[in-house]
Amino acid sequence: MTAIGQRLERLVSARAERRPDDCAVVDEAERLSFGDLERRSNRVANTLIARGLRPEGRVCVLVPKSATAIAGILGVLKAGGVCVPLDATSPTLRLASVVEQCSPCLLLVAPECAAVAERITDAVAPGTISGVLRLGEEESAADTAPAPLPNGDSAYILFTSGSAGRPKGVSITHSNVAHFVTWANGHFGLRPGDRISCQLPLHFDGSLWDVFGALSAGAELHLVSGRRNLLPSTVADFIRESRLTQWLTVPSVLTSMAARDVVADGDFPELRRIFWGGDVLSLPVLRYWMARLPNVRFTNMYGPTETTIVASCHTLRSAPDEDATAVPIGRPVPGKHFQVLDKDMRPAQPGEVGDLHISGAGLTPAYWRDPALTAKSFVEWPSGSGRRWYRTGDLARQDGRGVFHFHGRADRQIKSSGHRIELDEVAAALRELPGLKDTAVVSVPAPGAEGNRICAAYVPAPGSAPEPAQLRTLLAAKLPQYMLPSQWRACESLPMNANGKIDHLAVRRMFLDERTG
C-alpha cells in the first residue's frame, strides 16, 4: 500500500475490514478488536461532526493513554479534524497556552480529566474553545463510518518546548506519518500477531509509529500506562506479561532498568526488536542489554519532531567495540536526506563536525501559526535550488562509510528522559517569578548516563530571600515536572561575558565544580 496521499485512519480501517475480530488495542482495563475500534471511533467522529467540526479544525485531546484514547484520536481524524494531544499532567497555564494557540478548537475530554478541562476553560480567552465532547456523550451516535474524506493535509499538531517562552506547535501531515510507517513496517517486518508496545506519551511523535505502525500492520498495540512506567521492575513485568515482540523506549528507561539489574539472561523470549531514541544511550548500558538479550536486534533511532518520527536509524549487528565512543545515528531512512554544513553553509568534509540539516519526506510544512520561526528554522540550500532543509541545531559528522554520528547541540536545547527541552523556555518562566533580580538556566550531565539535569542559578531581589523549594513550587505552576530544575544555587551576581550577557559556560562550571568539590 503506497503512503502517498494516504490518510492515517484509512490505514487502520483497511486492516479492520480484512480482520475485524483480531485484537487491536490492549490496555489495563480492556482488549479492543479492530471491529470494536472502528465502531467506537466512528461514534466519536459522527458526534464531532454533529458538534460542528469541519475539515482541518483542531481537536485538543485530553484523554489518558488508553484504548479509549486511541479510539478518540481515530475519531478526530475520521471527522477530518487535526489532533492535538494534551499532556493532562502539565500545569494548567501550559495547557492553556497550547489550547489558545489552537483557537478556535474543540476539546475531547475523558471523565477523569473533567477537572483539568474546567481549569483550562477558565484560563483561556472567551471563544477559544468552541465546544467540549465529554467521552460517553458519543455512545448514542451512529457507529457507521462518516463519509470518506479527500486526501488530507494536517493530521496532528504536536507541541514541544519553545525558546520564546511558550510551547511551539509542529504541524504533522497524514503523508508525513504514512511515509515513515509504510517504510518502517516493511523494513522491520511488522506483521499480524506482533505485539507492539506504546510506552511513549501520545503527545510524543515517536508514539505515532507505535500506534499507526501496529494497527496498520494488524498487530496488537499494548499500551503502557503511567502506573506500569513507574519502576524498572514494573516495566520488565509489562514486557513479560504482554509477550512483546517489539519495544520502542527511551535511554533513561534502559539505563534505570540496567542499573537495577531487572533483566535476566535470555529474558523476554518473544521480544525480537528494541528501539530507542530521544537521547544518547551510554555504551555500558547498551552492552548490558545486548549481553542479557542476545537474540534481540537493537536499533538507535534519530529524528527531530520537525522531520516526523525518525529521520535515520542504526541497527547494531554486535556489541560496540571497547574503543567505541557512541552509537551512530546511522543513515537517513529512504526519502530523507542529510547534509552536514559548515558555518559558511558549505558541505563539511567527511569526518568534519558541522551543522546537520535534513530535507525530503516528512518535513513539517510549518510551525503552527509562527511564520517567523518557520523562516528561521528552514532554509533553501543551495540558494535558488528550491530545496528546503531543516536546521536541526544538532552537530554531526559523516564518516567514510556514509554513516552519521551525533556530536551534541549547537544551541541551548537539551534532551532529558526523551523530552526535548529549550533551556530558554525554562529561563523565561523563571524570570517571571517574584523575588528574583536575575536568573540563568543551564544543564549538566546526569549521574549514571541518564541524560541531562537542569540547573538554575538566581540572584535574589533586594529584600527577598526565596528558597529553592519555594521557587520550584512556583515554577511547577508554569512548567511540567520534566522541565523543572533539579539543582539550584543562590548567587550575589551572575558571571557575564564581554558582551554584557550571562556567561552560561561559567554558570555551568559553577554547578560542575559544586558536584566535584
362 and 381 assigned to the same domain = yes
Q: Which of 194, 232, 227 is nearest to 210 (CA)?
A: 194
pLDDT at 450: 62
Alpha helices by DSSP H, listed for 271-422, are 283-292, 371-377
Residue 458 in any domain: the answer is yes
Q: In terms of pLDDT, which residue wins out, 2 or 306?
A: 306
Average pLDDT rounded to a whole number, residues 252-280? 96
List, in order, residues 6 or more apart from 464 with CB less than 8 Å away: 434, 435, 436
Distance, first Cα to last Cα, the chain = 60
Provide the grid cell at 496: 557575564
At which residue does the C-alpha cell 509477550 appear? 243
Which of 409, 438, 466 is the last residue before a domain boundary?
A: 409
Residue 468 in any domain: the answer is yes
pLDDT at 499: 74
Residue 206 in any domain: the answer is no
CA distance 1 to 150: 17
Beta bridge partners of 458: 439, 490
403 and 419 assigned to the same domain = no
Which of 350, 376, 409 is the last residue before a domain boundary?
A: 409
CA distance 6 to 426: 38
Q: Is 229 helix (H, G, I), strand (E, B) or coil?
A: coil
360 and 427 assigned to the same domain = no
pLDDT at 325: 87
Output b/e per residue, 475-487; b: 16+ Cβ within 10 A: beebbbeebbbeb
pLDDT at 484: 97
CA distance 514 to 51: 57
**CA-atom Rg of the chain in angstroms:** 23
pLDDT at 2: 44
Does residue 517 register a pLDDT over 70? no
Average pLDDT rounded to a whole number, residues 2-9? 72
402 and 482 assigned to the same domain = no
- Whether the CA torsion 90, 92, 98, 102 is positive or negative: it is positive
Please enumerate, as own/partner, the contacts of 465-471 that have beta carbons within 8 Å and a separation of 24 or more.
Answer: 465/435, 466/433, 466/434, 466/435, 466/436, 471/430, 471/433, 471/436
438 and 469 assigned to the same domain = yes
Please tell me the total count of domains within the chain: 2
Residue 355 in any domain: the answer is yes
pLDDT at 4: 46
pLDDT at 448: 61
Percent of the chain with pLDDT over 70: 98
Which of 387, 409, 431 is the last residue before a domain boundary?
A: 409
CATH number of the domain that residue 423 is part of: 3.30.300.30
CA distance 5 to 172: 14
418 and 494 assigned to the same domain = yes
Q: In terms of pLDDT, which residue wins out, 447 or 150?
A: 150
| Domain coverage including residue 493 | 414-516
Phi, psi of 461 (to 5 degrees): -70, 155
Percent of the chain with pLDDT over 90: 88
pLDDT at 1: 41
Does residue 329 register a pLDDT over 60? yes
393 and 448 assigned to the same domain = no
pLDDT at 516: 62
427 and 464 assigned to the same domain = yes
Residue 398 in any domain: the answer is yes
418 and 455 assigned to the same domain = yes
Residue 405 in any domain: the answer is yes
List pLDDT tens digits, range 440-476.
999 998 876 567 899 999 999 999 999 999 999 999 9
CATH number of the domain that residue 363 is part of: 2.30.38.10
**Predicted structure pTM score:** 0.92
Q: Which of 17-26, 242-251, 496-505 has the lowest mean pLDDT?
A: 496-505
Q: Which of 169-173, 231-235, 355-359, 411-415 has the lowest mean pLDDT?
A: 411-415
Provide the grid cell at 445: 550531565
List pLDDT tens digits, range 49-69.
999 999 999 999 999 999 999
439 and 349 assigned to the same domain = no
Length of the chain in terms of residues written:
517
Beta bridge partners of 56: none
Residue 299 in any domain: the answer is no
List pLDDT tens digits, range 12-46.
999 999 999 999 999 999 999 999 999 999 999 99
390 and 427 assigned to the same domain = no
440 and 507 assigned to the same domain = yes
- Whether the CA torsion 152, 366, 102, 213 is positive or negative: it is positive
Residue 372 in any domain: the answer is yes
